[in-house]
Amino acid sequence: MELIFKLTDISNTAQWLLDQTNGRKCIAFHGEMGAGKTTFISALCTLLGVQSGQSSPTFPIINDYVTSKGETIYHIDLYRLKSETEAMAAGVEDCLYSGNYCFVEWPEKAPGIFPTDIIHVYIQTIDADTRNIKLKL
């Protein structure tokens, strides 16, 4: 599946993505630096009921957010990691297999630790305001 969207319409695109997941909660986001991975994840968190405090977890690796329903959402950024061993030591696997929503940036840093049913989202920059998004379900 593929969709071209404007960043000004990211909320509708995030809802479209949620509609495609069929209940799967682990989503891996691929894209170059600045493609909009964190922005997209923030839009997903807002739709799922996170009130505030969303940011890129580049330095802490894992941010957890609580929705208005008391559910936990994990936002993981593997950019700084050098191996799957580092990801496991940081507790990434615990999040991935927790049953909670888990949104991962830079999944190519530790490809062997993900559930087999993870959804891969590829975001490509077309211009300053437009992105192409491809889903691998």
CATH number at residue 37: 3.40.50.300
Tens digits of residue pLDDT in 104-122: 999 999 999 999 999 999 9
Strands 62-66 and 119-127: unpaired
Q: Rounded to two decimals, what is the model's pTM?
A: 0.92
Name the amino acid, one letter, at 130. T
Neighbours of 124 (CB within 10 A): 16
Tens digits of residue pLDDT in 35-54: 999 999 999 999 999 987 65
pLDDT tier at 55 (50, 70, 90 boundaries)? Answer: low
Q: What is the number of structural domains in the chain?
A: 1
Name the amino acid, one letter, at 113. I
Question: Residue 73's domain spans which residues?
Answer: 2-136
How many Cα neighbours within 13 Å face the side chain of 14? 19
How many Cα neighbours within 13 Å face the side chain of 117? 7
